[in-house]
Amino acid sequence: MRFDIITLFPELFAPLLTSGITRRAYEGGLVEVHFWNPRDHAEGNYRRVDDRSFGGGPGMVMLAEPLFKCLTAIRAARQETSLAPLVLFSPIGQTLNHGAVAQWSASAGAVLLCGRYEGVDQRFTDQYVDLQISLGDFVLSGGEIAAMALLDAVARLQPGVLNDEGSHQLDSFNPALDGLLDSPHYTRPEVWQGHAVPPELMSGHHAHIERWRREQSLSLTALHRPELLDQARQLGKLSRQDEVSLQRSKASLTDAAQAASPKKL
């Protein structure tokens, strides 16, 4: 798998590639990362890569020609029989989620374009960009952080990167959890600041532990991401026991809210 990253600031990626458990993916060649600076393909003494926007307004726009020359060099270096997609990180893009990350993790990679300033000349986007991706409804100063998020998410899914091969299957949003949120986790000591680990986790009864985790996953998802619960229900992922647990959890939350509300005289 190979990712070619078009960025004006390749130095920002250094900690990502050399720190944490995902560095195994890069050091072992499971995920190849190559950097390309558009400034190396710009003309003139100042190697200019941006200019003022036609029509006026604040900010600068990345020039199309240096990006085109940079992309041409990347295509030649990759020696592709079929072109890898060119991805632009942009507010109008599809929001990155687990399903998309899983697809990327099984792919041959892509060319990632990290925009800066007010964005990229629309003519280059229209002509060469295959896919646009967003991290959410907010604006970053550049696409580098979004590219790092994609790389990190993809790298940790590669075989041999995580200590436990199956640990990522219990992540939130994973199909193994029916797309729901993960349950809470606890570690030693058994009692911390007067708060004990839930007794179910201390029981040693694997079936009870798994049921407790499932119930916690259901209740957390219902409370914080109910749309995920609706999706799981539509896909037939919720059992009758799950639905009973959800009703019981809903009743408990209602009772707790009523007990906490001020009583009228």
Q: Is 146 exposed, middle or buried (0-12, 13-18, 19+ CB in 10 A)?
A: buried
Whether 209 and 130 map to the same domain: the answer is no
Active site residue 171: yes
**Which of 152, 171, 182, 200 is flagged as catalytic?**
171
**Which of 116, 156, 213, 214 is flagged as catalytic?**
156
pLDDT beyond 70 at 261? no
pLDDT: which is higher, 172 or 72: 72
Domain endpoint, select from 113, 130, 155: 155
Whether 17 and 144 map to the same domain: the answer is yes
> What pLDDT was estimated at residue 259?
72
Whether 149 and 177 map to the same domain: the answer is no
The total domain count for the chain is 2
Active site residue 118: yes
> What pLDDT was estimated at residue 134?
97
> What pLDDT was estimated at residue 167?
59
Whether 140 and 206 map to the same domain: the answer is no
Query: What is the pLDDT of the chain when averaged over all its residues?
Result: 93
Active site residue 85: no
Domain endpoint, select from 131, 155, 179: 155
Active site residue 116: no
Report how far residue 33's alpha carbon sits from residue 35's, in angstroms, rounded to the nearest whole number: 7
**Which of 48, 51, 91, 243 is flagged as catalytic?**
91
pLDDT range class, residue 162, cuts 50, 70, 90: confident
Per-residue pLDDT tens digits for 192-201: 999 999 999 9
Residue numbers of the domain that contains 149: 2-155
> What pLDDT was estimated at residue 256?
67
Per-residue pLDDT tens digits for 69-124: 999 999 999 998 899 999 999 999 999 999 999 999 999 999 999 999 999 999 99
* CATH code for the domain in which residue 151 is found: 3.40.1280.10
The verdict on residue 109 lying in a domain is yes
Per-residue pLDDT tens digits for 33-67: 999 999 999 998 889 999 999 999 999 999 999 99
pLDDT beyond 90 at 163? no
3-state helix, strand, coil in the chain (%, to 5): 45, 15, 40
**Which of 118, 152, 182, 200 is flagged as catalytic?**
118
> What pLDDT was estimated at residue 168?
65
The verdict on residue 163 lying in a domain is no
What is each CA distance from 112 to 45, 176, 215, in whole angstroms? 27, 29, 40
Report how far residue 265's alpha carbon sits from residue 256's, in angstroms, rounded to the nearest whole number: 20
